[in-house]
Amino acid sequence: MKLDEIEDVEIDNEGKFKYILIKAKEKSTKLSKLLVRGYAECPYHADILEKTEQSVNSSEISLSCPGGGRIERNNYEKTLFVFGYSQGFGQADHSKTVSILKNKFPDYTIEYSNEGY
């Protein structure tokens, strides 16, 4: 699997859920990009990383997590709100997360706060 074959964003369709920012790096080229992953089914931020590792399933790509938080998604109002932190990984740079989300959801209002859990 190559880096450009990995979706930048995979988040649940509605509601409030934990998310992590992931740095994916191609071992052969050293190229990297940031990914956003968030799933309500994962009770811990580490579970999201594990699920992503299983889906990428490539010895050519290394994944690391610089931080996490939560996302609240409302499709009716077309809003995404990024906030909080991960007890295990620390707080993600929410401004980077918002930039990535804006590419995937250009018609949504996307905001963040470094407050809350």
Residue 115 has a pLDDT of 81
Specify the pLDDT at position 46.
Answer: 97
The pLDDT of residue 10 is above 70 = yes
pLDDT in tens, 97-107: 999 999 999 99
pLDDT in tens, 44-83: 999 999 999 999 988 899 999 999 999 999 999 999 999 9
Q: List, by residue number, the catalytic residues.
A: 45
Model pLDDT, residue 85: 97
Q: Which residue ranges make up each domain of the chain?
A: 3-113
The two structure tokens encoding residue 95: 């401004």
pTM for the full predicted model: 0.95
The CATH code for residues 3-113 is: 3.50.20.20
What strands lie across the sheet with 79-83, from one edge to the other?
9-11, 32-38, 15-26, 61-74, 79-83, 109-113
